[in-house]
Amino acid sequence: MLSRWGLDVFLVLLAIGQMIAILLSAENLRVVGAILAAASALVLIGRRIQPLLASIVSLLAINGCLLALGDAPTLVFFSLLATFAIVAAINSTRDAVIAWLVGAALIAAAVFLAGPADQVGDFALTLALCTVMWIVGLLLSRRTRQAALIAMKLEVTELERARAVQDERSRIARELHDVVSHGLTVVIVQTVAARSAIEDLGRASGVASPVIAEVERHMSAVESSAREALGDMRRMLGLLQSDEGDPDALMSAAPRLQELPALFDRARAAGLMVDDSGVEATLKLPHGLELTVYRIVQEALTNAIKHAPGSQVVVSLARDGDDVRIAVSDRGSASAGRGPIAAGSGGRGLLGMRERAAAYGGTLIAERPASGGFTVHGTLPIQQEVGS
């Protein structure tokens, strides 16, 4: 298809140009000729409604102009050639042929009624030039239609690919839900059963054993963490399965910094002695950066629970100029070694923390101090998220 507005501008300019040229140079019936010339161009603006009718009316008007003027300006003859090209481009092949036949008949009428000396020669030359322009317009129309068809096919292919990706995501989400949800549900059920058995054992013995109380505390922490993980998983998988895939909805479902106290409480319930006095309570960060900070702290506490159970953990989180600094240190066993841990070493949790920090242009260092234990230091630049 020809440019929607570019052709309209061209037709208006052509109409104005023809009127000026005719009014300045023509002698006979110049007002009538100017009106017909302008109409021949302007009527093609209605091609979107009735392309064939607009084409025939345009050819009638331009040939009427030639017949009225007799000796028309060169611009009018150029307009005749342009009209043949346009009518071929805006019509289907069948209608373009009909328009060409009408145009040829009108040229013949205009030439022979004008009565020049060489009527056959003028008719043949004019029709040959108009036919060449008609063929050019037809070829241009076919190429643009093919390009539009290819673009449409590519768009359909992209939509099908996106739908296939969405279907695969939904399938994975369903499988994750079936597997992980079942496992977490079993953990919760078994934890509740174990707590009931321990309570029954305590009542049967009639003695309030500190060991039983400690076990009950740990079982409560396991149940609380499992229930929260189950809820988080269902919420995130629900977003993964959604057709919209709204990033804002995903961010709103992600944990925020104000949820850190609850995270610390769960770590304490799991046996850690968490000192969070170094956490800046009023710290405000972009959503994505908040999630990254939360996950780094969460993973560091998880590592402490696994590798240094019952130890004291000091957490600090504060803004330092244009950066936010994170530090999580536990007092684990000094026999574990000393010094920084290489970037390529460590478990998947440590690797994930480094990748999260690197994604925001920050750094993360994990090391074993000389005093023992394990320390994670992170520095992340505070900046607006991409696309915000």
Query: To 5 degrees, how large is the angle CA 376–CA 380–CA 381?
Result: 165
Model pTM above 0.75: no
Convert the pLDDT of each residue in 337-378 to its tens digit: 444 554 444 556 788 788 888 888 899 999 888 888 899 999
**Residue 109 maps to a domain:** yes
**Residue 295 maps to a domain:** yes
**Residue 140 maps to a domain:** no
| Distance between CA atoms of residues 261 and 268, nearest Å | 10
Contact 219, 198 (CB under 8 A): yes
Which range of residues forms the domain containing residue 18?
6-115
Under 8 Å CB-to-CB from 383, ≥6 apart: which residues?
286, 322, 360, 361
**Whether residue 189 has pLDDT greater than 50:** yes
- Choose the final residue of a domain: 65, 98, 115: 115
- Choose the final residue of a domain: 80, 115, 150: 115
Which residue is it, tokens 């993360």? 364
* Structural domains in the chain (count): 2
**Residue 373 maps to a domain:** yes
- Nearest-Å Rg of the Cα atoms of the chain is 40
**Residue 159 maps to a domain:** no
What pLDDT sits at residue 314?
Answer: 94
Contact 225, 186 (CB under 8 A): no
Which residue is it, tokens 């002695």? 273
**Whether residue 336 has pLDDT greater than 50:** no
- Choose the final residue of a domain: 62, 82, 115: 115
**Residue 312 maps to a domain:** yes
Strongest mean pLDDT among 236-250, 260-274, 323-337: 260-274
From the list 253, 352, 363, 368, the residue with the least C-alpha distance to 302 is: 352
Identify the three-state secondary structure at position 366. Answer: strand
**Whether residue 267 has pLDDT greater than 90:** no
**Residue 206 maps to a domain:** no
**Residue 107 maps to a domain:** yes
Q: Which two tokens stand for residue 108?
A: 């013949």
Convert the pLDDT of each residue in 11-57 to its tens digit: 888 888 888 888 887 667 778 888 888 888 888 888 888 888 988 99
> Span 121-144, mean pLDDT?
87
Q: Which two tokens stand for residue 379?
A: 């520095």
